[in-house]
């Protein structure tokens, strides 16, 4: 299983008036760490869009567990991995550590989507697409032929 590690320095602007990280900022951290995880697997977002014809990998569900508060000046170490693959969706698990202690856990569900249009004049819509096996294999250490 591929795990990416990324450090995040907590800036003054990340914090609420109480001096701790304002909780929506963790969603931004998670998004940046998901992008870093895919990049570590050799799947940079701009190239994925071009290579696979997708519109992106939007988050459709999230939840978090807040265990230890973080504040301005702290550095968090984030460990990210794909927890589960589905047909057109996948789950990402982020563990944020402060001084070696688990501070926050983030859980994301994302969908591999392409743009579709109902008609030439209609609004652009998005539809889940099957995630290519070669993409999944990049996170398990296998090539698309199944070799390690």
Catalytic residues: 16
Residue 78: other Cβ atoms inside 10 A? 23
Tell me the C-alpha distance between 88 and 65, whole Å.
26
What are the respective helix, strand and coil percentages of the chain, to the nearest 5? Answer: 20, 40, 35
Tell me the C-alpha distance between 55 and 46, whole Å.
10
Query: Which residues lie across from 85 on neighbouring strands?
Result: 90
Q: Which tokens hold the place of 93?
A: 């698990």
Tell me the C-alpha distance between 4 and 24, whole Å.
22
């Amino acid at each position: 299983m591929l795990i990416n590690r990324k450090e995040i320095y907590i800036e003054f602007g990340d914090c609420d008036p109480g001096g701790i990280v304002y909780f929506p900022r963790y969603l931004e951290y998670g998004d940046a760490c998901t992008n870093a995880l895919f990049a570590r697997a050799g799947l940079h977002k701009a190239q994925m869009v071009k290579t696979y014809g997708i519109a992106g990998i939007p988050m459709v569900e999230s939840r978090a567990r807040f265990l230890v508060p973080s504040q301005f000046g702290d550095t968090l170490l984030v460990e990210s991995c794909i927890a589960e693959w589905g047909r057109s969706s996948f789950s990402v698990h982020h563990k944020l550590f402060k001084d070696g202690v688990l501070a926050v856990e983030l859980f994301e569900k994302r969908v591999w989507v392409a743009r579709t249009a109902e008609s030439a004049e209609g609004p652009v819509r998005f539809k889940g697409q099957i995630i290519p096996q070669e993409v999944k294999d990049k996170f398990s250490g296998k090539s698309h032929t199944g070799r390690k």
